[in-house]
Amino acid sequence: MAKFKLIPYSVRIRKLKTKSFFPLDEIQSEMGIIDFFEFFDFFCNKHATSVYNLKSQKRTFTTEIAESNSKKRFIYGTIKSGEYGISTDFYDIDAKKIIPKYRLPSHSEHYPFHFFFYSPLGNIRNMGLLLLQTIENKGVKTVLHQNIRTWMEKRDKTLIVDISPMISTELLDKLEKSDRILEMRFIRKQIPREITSKLEIRNYKDIIEERSFKVKRNKSIQLTEWIKKLFKDTKETLEFKSPYLEILDEQYENVKIVFETNGIKSTLDLDKLSLREQQELQEKRIKIKDGFPTMESTHPIALNYINQILKKYDANSYLRRE
């Protein structure tokens, strides 16, 4: 499995308790018309001025903008974020000695996660595309999403920002052809800090959280309709046919679905199969500095990848280089 990946997400804005989405350049709010690209650009610039301490999450958050283009409606750069609140020893492999309490509870990690956001106009103007880099099992999607939602609520409490991962429609095709769904497993690769604190779990990074739903033996309960509810029904809410499904309010990094067809059990693993849209960053294709991919080597791959996704929606929304 690749150490570094680019994960695409759709970005949509809707009113509370509704399923219809606003054009991102013309969001009707209590404070007037909002252009989400301008909102996100302001959000990134504001967080580039200093490191923000998100006390409720025990995380720090800051941005570094590489380029913002209001005419073409894209912005990319790096989000640096990490957790604090623990104390640990370090081991110096060169000096071959332990450094006691080298990391203090006030020390926060600062992992660099590259991001790329594009808000197209035309036929798909009610959807933005966001690429977020992951580092092994670490990512920045949750903290970014929560932060953006908080900022949007300050503008209008009735506006909801949905940031959803993209799944191939082949998933439902496979499930609809199955006889029955036997099990669904929701997996979070790292337990949330608030849970580990209550349980006094110190080695939380070595533990995964798994939630499983199983049908009883010899029962024929069909869960296909329930599974569909996990995804947006894009056929009714968009002006075009979407080539992807989008998981609503994702809280888990991976989903495994066990189904049965003609008496044979099979497992769909969204993290491993091509059903979940993602782009691996092969280390032979990128430059590594201090253990992380450089912006210069990652950005061309991100741009090509976002164009591959755009072509499936609308060829006219292709993001061209200068």
pLDDT in tens, 182-222: 777 777 766 665 566 666 666 666 677 777 777 776 665 55
Q: Is 139 inside any structural domain?
A: yes
Q: Is 322 inside any structural domain?
A: no
Q: Is 128 inside any structural domain?
A: yes
Q: Given this model, what pLDDT does residue 313 score?
A: 79
Separation between Cα atoms, residue 297 and residue 128, nearest integer Å: 23
**pLDDT < 50 positions in the chain:** 233-240
Q: Is 237 inside any structural domain?
A: yes
Among residues 251, 256, 259, the alpha carbon closest in space to that of 272 is found at 256
Among residues 124, 133, 76, the alpha carbon closest in space to that of 318 is found at 124
Q: Are 25 and 36 in contact (CB under 8 A)?
A: yes
Q: Is 170 inside any structural domain?
A: yes
Q: Is 299 inside any structural domain?
A: yes
Q: Given this model, what pLDDT does residue 247 score?
A: 57
What total of structural domains would you count in the chain?
Answer: 1
Mapped onto helix, strand or coil, the DSSP state of residue 310 is helix
- The pTM for the full model equals 0.76
Q: How many residues does the chain have?
A: 322
Q: Given this model, what pLDDT does residue 188 score?
A: 72
Among residues 118, 127, 140, 138, the alpha carbon closest in space to that of 47 is found at 140
- CA dist 316 → 51, 101, 226, 242 (Å): 38, 56, 35, 15
List the domain range (segments joined by +) for residue 176.
4-317
Separation between Cα atoms, residue 184 and residue 163, nearest integer Å: 22
Q: Is 157 inside any structural domain?
A: yes
Separation between Cα atoms, residue 219 and residue 182, nearest integer Å: 9
Separation between Cα atoms, residue 280 and residue 271, nearest integer Å: 12
Among residues 129, 122, 132, 157, the alpha carbon closest in space to that of 63 is found at 132
The gap between the terminal CA atoms of the chain, to the nearest Å, is: 34
